[in-house]
Structure 1
Amino acid sequence: MATSVSYSILFILVLIRTSHAQTGLVLPLRRDAKTSQFYATFQMGSERATINAVIHLSGQHLWIACDNYTSTTYAPIPCDSAECEAAKGSGCSGCNGPARPGCSNNTCGTASSNPFLPYITSYGLYEDTLSSKSHVQLPEFIFSCVPNDFVEGLAAPASGMVGLSRFDIAFHKVVAEKMKVPDRFSICPPSSGIGKLTVGGGAPAKSDISGFVKTTPLIVNKPVSNQPFFSDNDLSREYFIDVRSIRVAGEAVEVKESYFHINGDRVGGTKISSLQNYTALHTSIYKPLARAFEKAASDMRIKSAAAVAPFRACFRSETLKRTGAGPEVPAIDLVLPGEDVYWRIAGANAVVEVDRKTVCLAFVDAGSRPTTSVVIGAHQLEENYLEFDVAASQLRFTSSLLVHNKSCSRI
């Protein structure tokens, strides 16, 4: 009997481990209505404190506010340790107060960045157990402790940031190493309800969205002056794709191809941002796009309205038809390399309701000298599935799932 029980327990453990290896780490993803930021939820430490952390596709690592953090299982990472070297730690942190998370001596320091603050500073690196509601536990998970005032600008429920860049100790890389899963992650940001951040696994098998998924290469650029620290030989840790042209209602928008290219000064190109609220375009791309959208809207008998800053192309709500995917408006296609490969932005992703009477084209003018020609923003990501296969340097993506009567909260 004892042997039979032992085999049963072993079998259950194997099933659990196999399940984790196949699915990776899955965390709930929510949208904050006030800031339009997406934040993931997980637990940290011996007390399993609930942490809400804003996802940042250009962020270097996980950092959380530690002034009120208590745990008996946390440990500082020493300055001269192999872990500090692997994390490319910068300097050594110390503290004059009583020892606690965020206050310790001889602690490996690393640059932590909050894009909503005008400075970057070094804080200590620590290790503690990260847990999920799906019973995954990852001990000795590396993160940075920051003071509470460092969270300024984040969505109210959040006390940290999940860095998802190509950096050595980015969130997905730490998870992939600990769980022995591929270095890839996916986000399905919801417009409402609960979406998913998944590390290691692909699209959920039961979701049946494979027929909508397209693939395009991730482009590796070199960093420019808006990056915290870099040298000429570094590669950008952000995610760029090779948008080559734009169509509105199936018609090509007249824009010089050179505006989409990354030039010798590393300027240009198209990157994806989880923090830019709306897609921002170089003036020489934005203006012809807005004109083409207004003309196509007029052809659909959609009436113009007065502009509402920061938007310039606005329309009267009563002249719009409604669909399950949002207002019926001209579709915008970001054309990518390959046969019939494009990212369609339509319906609720293309426009935003600014008041009860007005909707506007949800794109903004980034000026005539932006560092990046096209920055795809959070509004355009809502209800789209995006899988960043970092190891293979590919992006697998869908357009709005709402078009197919699905959503990020139902896959």
Structure 2
Amino acid sequence: MDKCLLLCVLLFSSYSHVSAHYYPSKNTLVSSVTKNAILPIFTFTLNTNEEYFIHIAGPFLVRSCNDGLPRPIIPCGSATCALTRRVSPHQCPPTQNAIINGRCACQATAFEPFQRLCNSNQYTYGDFSMSSLNPRSPSFTFNNVKYLCIPKPFLIDFPPGVLGLAGLAPTALATWNQLTPPRLGLEKKFALCLPSDTNKGAIFFGGGPYKLGNTDARSMLTYTQLIKNPRRLNNYFLRLKGIFVNGEKILLAQNAFGFDGKGDGGVTLSTVTPFTTLRSDIYKVFTEAFSKATSDIPRVNSTTPLEFCFKSTEHFQVPQIDMKFADGKIWKVIAANSMKKISDDVACLAFLNGGDAAAQAVVIGMHQMENTLLEFDVGRSAFGFSCSLGLVNASCGDFQTKP
């Protein structure tokens, strides 16, 4: 067994005997996460029964508001309104404010990533609640949470029950930041475990423990640095140094993962991109290496949008893919996350060609993140990732999401 994977298993084993009563009471906010069967999205619950889809590059909390009721006004000249302008989606035109009942009311803009729609409307505030792991306070209500009130056509293709979008970007107005007030002893971080199937996953706001059975899964996390791109404030970026296939580093230009003068490039993560997407120059070298390492496995016809597909047998084995960061930390992508099972006897490499003009060098997609605990410690600019939970006979559905 690879020494990094062995370490993950040993850490899990060493903590697994600890009683759940060992952990002190915490105010950590928590919700189950559901993989949607209609759109490639993951959702969690606010206000007891409202589902919001997880968008880690979304700067705001966005809610469908088509009831025609008046809502509180945030003044155009306020500091809050100024913050919305700093993180307006770069895909959209500048936002124009509106006059409501004789007052200048702040408007903000959201970008809907599936239909690629821009929509501006009133930026307002209200009360939101979320469940907690504290048995004495199993739910917290937060007053004056700012959100973008969007009419229903913006969300027309969303599945029934999905009311809006929970933006989790590294911004002041993001959902995680508004729901982690210091008065509750919460840290400026959130953690995700996206389920790989119909089982539930979990999302945590404010820090751990992240109880996986009797284990605090924080012990399984490896941390690397989160970096900023001043031209892409809504994205989390990682300092990737190299990609390895079967232990061999693929040969790329020295600055293949860096930013250019316009802020394009870099390596980011996405919860609206189904599969990891590589700019063409990286994709070409990567797939050549993967093809060479799998030359003994019969190929079959491609399945849109996946290009490299193989005949999957009972003892089907593919090379491991490693993403090595500048600080030497390695994110190991095992077969469950590198391959997409299409049928009983066909599996495809779950990486896409983003084209020559891709905005980012690498976008790490949802399939590669599934069944893995990921922590975004925004306060410390750190990104934590576990090994695949399948390696320790666990899944995202095993996390405790109730007091």
* Common topology (TM > 0.5): yes
Superposition map of 1:41-52 within 5 A:
41-43=45-47, 50-52=49-51
Alpha-carbon distance in 2 for matches of 1:295, 1:212: 33
Alignment map for 1:196-211 (pairs within 5 Å): 196-205=202-211, 206-211=214-219
Q: 1:360 aligns with which of 344, 348, 353?
A: 348
1:387 & 1:114 partners in 2: Cα distance? 24
Asked if 1:219 corresponds to 2:227, the answer is yes
User: Shift of the alpha carbon at 1:87?
Assistant: 4.6
Q: Structure 1 residues 381-390 or 114-123, which shifts more?
A: 114-123
1:311–1:364 CA contact under 8 A, matched in 2: yes
Q: Aligned with 1:136: secondary structure?
A: strand
Q: Deviations over 1:170-225 (max 9, x none)?
A: 101111237452211111111131111111113515434344311110011132xx
- Assess if the C-alpha contact under 8 Å between 1:311 and 1:360 holds in 2: yes
1:177 is matched with 181
Letter in 2 for 1:329: V
Deviation at 1:120, TM superposition (A): 2.3
SS at match of 2:288: helix
Matched, 1:312 2:312: no
Partners of 1:320 and 1:95 in 2: CA distance: 65
1:318-345 superposed Cα distances (whole Å, 9 cap, x missing partner): x253xxxxx6421110111224x11111
1:294 paired residue number: 291
The alignment partner of 2:294 has SS state of helix
CA distance in 2, matches of 1:394, 1:306: 41
Structure-to-structure mapping, 1:277-356, within 5 angstroms: 277-298=274-295, 301-317=296-312, 319-321=313-315, 328-339=317-328, 341-356=329-344
How much has 1:119 moved relative to structure 2?
3.9
2:9 corresponds in structure 1 to none
Structure 2, unaligned runs of 5 or more? 1-23, 86-94, 132-137
Moved more, 160-169 or 144-153: 144-153
- The partner residue of 2:33 within 21, 29, 36 is 29
Please report how far the alpha carbon of residue 236 of structure 1 lies from its aligned counterpart in structure 2 after TM superposition: 2.0
CA contact (8 A) 2:171 2:233 kept: no
2:379 corresponding residue in structure 1: 391
**In 1: Cα distance, 2:110 partner to 2:162 partner:** 16
Tell whether the 8 Å contact from 2:310 to 2:347 is kept in structure 1 after alignment.
Answer: yes
Equivalent residue pairs, number: 357
Q: Distance in 2 between matches of 1:207 and 1:76?
A: 44
Q: How does 1:5-404 map to 2 (within 5 A)?
A: 19=25, 22-43=26-47, 50-68=49-67, 75-79=71-75, 82=78, 84-85=80-81, 87-88=83-84, 92-94=97-99, 106-133=104-131, 134-177=138-181, 179-192=184-197, 193-205=199-211, 206-223=214-231, 236-298=233-295, 301-317=296-312, 319-321=313-315, 328-339=317-328, 341-404=329-392
Question: Matches of 1:33 and 1:207 in 2, distance apart?
Answer: 30
Q: Residues 302 and 320 of structure 1 are in contact (CA less than 8 Å); yes or no, is this contact kept in structure 2?
A: no
Q: Distance in 1 between matches of 2:387 and 2:262?
A: 32
Following the alignment from structure 1 to structure 2, what is the Cα–Cα distance between the partners of residues 153 and 366?
Answer: 24
* SS of equivalent residue, structure 1 residue 138: strand
Instruction: Give RMSD over aligned pairs.
Output: 2.5
Relative to structure 1, the CA distance from residue 153 to residue 261 in structure 2 (aligned partners, 3 Å threshold; closer, same or farther) is farther
Native 8 Å contact 1:320 1:329 kept in 2:
no
**Further displaced range: 288-297 or 329-338:** 288-297
Aligned 8 A contact 1:320 1:328 in 2: no
TM-score by length of 1: 0.80
Query: Which shifted more, 82-91 or 370-379?
Result: 82-91
* SS of match in other structure, 1:244: strand
Q: Is there any run of 5+ residues in structure 1 with no aligned partner, and where?
A: 1-17, 97-103, 224-234, 322-326
What is the rounded CA distance, in whole Å, between the counterparts of 1:159 and 1:259 in structure 2? 39
Q: TM-score, normalised by structure 2?
A: 0.81
Does the 8 A contact of 1:77 with 1:83 survive in 2?
A: no
The aligned amino acid for 2:258 is: H
Instruction: State the AA in 2 paired with 1:182.
Output: E
Q: Looking at both structures, which has the greater relative contact order when contacts are Cα pairs under 8 Å and sequence separation is at least 6?
A: 2
What CA distance in whole angstroms lies between the structure 2 residues aligned with 1:60 and 1:388?
A: 15
Q: Cα gap change, 1:106/1:350 in structure 2, threshold over 3 Å: closer, same or farther?
A: same
Given residue 305 of structure 2, which amino acid in structure 1 is its aligned partner? Answer: P
8 Å Cα contact 1:117/1:152 also seen in 2 = no
Do 1:40 and 1:54's aligned partners in 2 also have CA atoms closer than 8 Å? yes
User: C-alpha separation between the residues in 2 aligned to 1:91 and 1:56?
Assistant: 24
Letter in 2 for 1:25: L
Instruction: Give the Å deviation of 1:91.
Output: 5.2
Following superposition, the deviation at residue 303 of structure 1 comes to: 2.1
> Residue 82 of structure 1: CA displacement?
4.9
Does the 8 A contact of 2:323 with 2:330 survive in 1? yes
- Comparing 365-374 with 130-139, greater Cα deviation is found at 130-139
